A and B are shown apart, each in its own frame.
Chain A
Amino acid sequence: MIEMERISKVYRMGEVRLEALKEISLRIEAAEFISIMGPSGSGKSTLLNIIGCLDTPSGGSYFLEEKNVAGLGFDELSTVRNRKIGFVFQNFNLLPYATTYENIELPMLFNGRSGKRRRERVRELLEMVGLVEWQHHRPSELSGGQQQRVAIARALANDPSLILADEPTGNLDSKTGEEIMGLFVKLQGQGRTILMVTHDTHIASYSQRTIQLLDGRIV
């Protein structure tokens, strides 16, 4: 599913050179559920952003489902993100003025699915996350747990094989967090690969494998 060879990421801030990732090599199989842990500044988010094609590495090679994505341009990466990757964020990142329905529909608008297929898919996802009766509400009218479920439904809109979650339970109480983890487990059961950044060991215990990062290296 994911093959990374000596991936590095260097930030330049004026004279200062900051190595966020130092020659990381990584192999992740399909349908794995992996958590990435490590202290802040260890490069967790940077790694996740590169895996998610939001950022490009400074060096190394990255194959996503046998496709080399290290050299792709912005629009090609957009297509990869749109079709293959679903994002779940700590602060949900829903569009504030759009309803539940519209937020879930959004990723499908960027790849031209027909109106009928979009409606069917949104309905399916609403049922899956149990928000059918909340479909016309805006994010501000929903609880944190509900908002995160909208975000998960949105991440699944184009049926991606890879789910990337950055502290998905960070803004939720522990009971809601457990519910969200329940959903993740279910998604893994459907054959999706899940990568989750967290520093909560309890949450990490839902995954089968943990990658520990420290100072930009896997330990």
Chain B
Amino acid sequence: MRAQLFRYFAKELRKRKKKTALVTFAITWGTLSILLLMSFGRGLSNSFRISFKGLGDNLIMVYRGQTSKDYHGLPKGRRIMIYPRDIALLSALIPEIGLVSPESNDYFMITAAGRETNRNVCGVGPAFGVMRSMIAESGGRFINEEDERTARRVAFIGWNMAENLFPGENPVGRTIVISRVPFTVIGVMKKKLQNSSYQGFDADHAYIPHSTFSRIHTQLYIDRIHVQPKRREDNQLVERRIREILGRKYRFDPEDDYALGIWNTIEQAEEAEKGFRGVEIFLAIIGGLTLLIGAVGVTNLMYALVKERTREIGIKMALGARRRHIILQFLLETVFIFSKGMFWGAAVAYAIVRLTRLVPISYELSGIQTYLLRPIFSLDILVIFLAILGTLVFLSGIFPAVRASRLNPVEALRYE
């Protein structure tokens, strides 16, 4: 096929711009809505994933409990307490455990720089920060081994508390007074998304070494043990081993689910992950079906464009156009119209996604905007979309084009 013919097709298409504007618009709109659907869908599940990890990554929490079964002659209803020494026992007997930390907490009056607030103070080990995705703002740090060993009076505080006690100032190095004992602030928690919690969100808390906590608080037991297995897959095993070991020590049935409270976030996360996948697959199916309906509509429009040009096709045939000239012209027009529509649709979708991501989101409460305002426009979405649409373009272009080329020139010339 000669270049002059392509130039001629392009020229004809330019002249027919207005006639094809509707199809172009339809394709732009379709591309835009499907890409946005998929970007926002992916953003939604991604935000869920992030805020799910906000509480902590790969975490198993062990609480005190009360037996609900008789065991070796012991009655049910006994309280089961856990103590600091149990932590050493568990890490010694369960090699699958990676990190472990105690946590005890209570509400205390906290004062600083003339301000006063009643907040949850948690005594935790050095591993706690990593397990609970707590990262210090630059210039600060989390509690370390030395703090714990020597029971230093240091505190790591949530960003909300920092804002309440030291509005507009850097709290690191300043003093806060917890229950009449002065503490030095060593770090402020960087903002993070968190959608599950107990006793309030991490942003509002103060964290001090567990050894120090034991000195300002009278309780001997600990409230919770945080455990992180070395490998995610071991979470069920570690959970079972904890029940067995503590069951042997405190004499309760390892099968008794109420003797110890265990919150296995890994198991929960795996369930949630299935949910996220489900949402993404669902959106992809909706997108695919929409695309299919759109392609049917576009095929119709292309048929209409062919029909409208029946007489013109007859004229061209009379003047010596071959079948492939006719097919090629219509197919190229379809491809061009689609490319144009897809380009603008993708460009606008990309712009909308980028602009939406610029909107600041609140970390204070994981509101709906947290999930809606962080769409993700990823290359794989675009590639899958283009592959599917490319196929549909070819199909919706080839049929009208072939039909056009099969017209009988005599009848086409007579067409009104």
Contact A110 B315 (CB under 8 A): no
Contact B319 A81 (CB under 8 A): yes
SS class of chain B's interface: helix, strand, loop or mixed? helix
Residues of A within 8 A of B16 (CB): 97
**Residue in chain B with minimal CB distance to A81:** B320
Contact B8 A78 (CB under 8 A): no
Most chain B CB within 10 A, of A79, A89, A97, is at A97
Contact A82 B320 (CB under 8 A): yes
Contact A89 B413 (CB under 8 A): yes
Contact A109 B413 (CB under 8 A): no
Assess whether A75 is interfacial by the CB under 8 Å rule. yes
- Given contacts A49-B410, A89-B413, is CB(A154)–CB(B2) below 8 Å? no
Please, how many angstroms separate the alpha-carbon atoms of A100 and B151 in the complex? 96
Count CB-based A-B contacts (< 8 Å).
Answer: 66
Q: Nearest Cβ in chain A — how far from B109, in angstroms?
A: 84
Cross-chain contact of A110 among B12, B325, B409 (Cβ < 8 A): B325
Contact B15 A110 (CB under 8 A): no
- Given contacts A54-B409, A81-B320, is CB(A109)–CB(B5) below 8 Å? yes
Contact-residue bracket for chain B: 20 to 34
Q: How many A residues face the partner with a CB closer than 8 A?
A: 28
Contact B413 A54 (CB under 8 A): yes
Residues of A within 8 A of B408 (CB): 55
Residues of B within 8 A of A55 (CB): 408-410
Assess whether B292 is interfacial by the CB under 8 Å rule. no
Q: CB within 8 Å of B: which of A41-57?
A: 49, 52, 54-55
**Residue in chain A with minimal CB distance to B412:** A54
Most chain A CB within 10 A, of B2, B321, B323, B325, is at B321
Sorted nearest first, the 9 A-B pairs with minimum C-beta distance are A82-B320, A110-B320, A107-B319, A97-B15, A75-B322, A54-B409, A78-B322, A93-B315, A112-B2
- Residues of B with Cβ closer than 8 Å to A? 2, 4-5, 8, 11-12, 15-16, 311-312, 314-325, 408-410, 413
- Residues of A with Cβ closer than 8 Å to B? 49, 52, 54-55, 74-75, 78-79, 81-83, 87, 89, 93-95, 97-98, 102, 106-107, 109-112, 115, 154, 158
Question: Would you give 6 A-B contacts (Cβ < 8 Å), ordered by A?
Answer: A74-B322, A79-B320, A82-B319, A89-B413, A97-B15, A110-B325
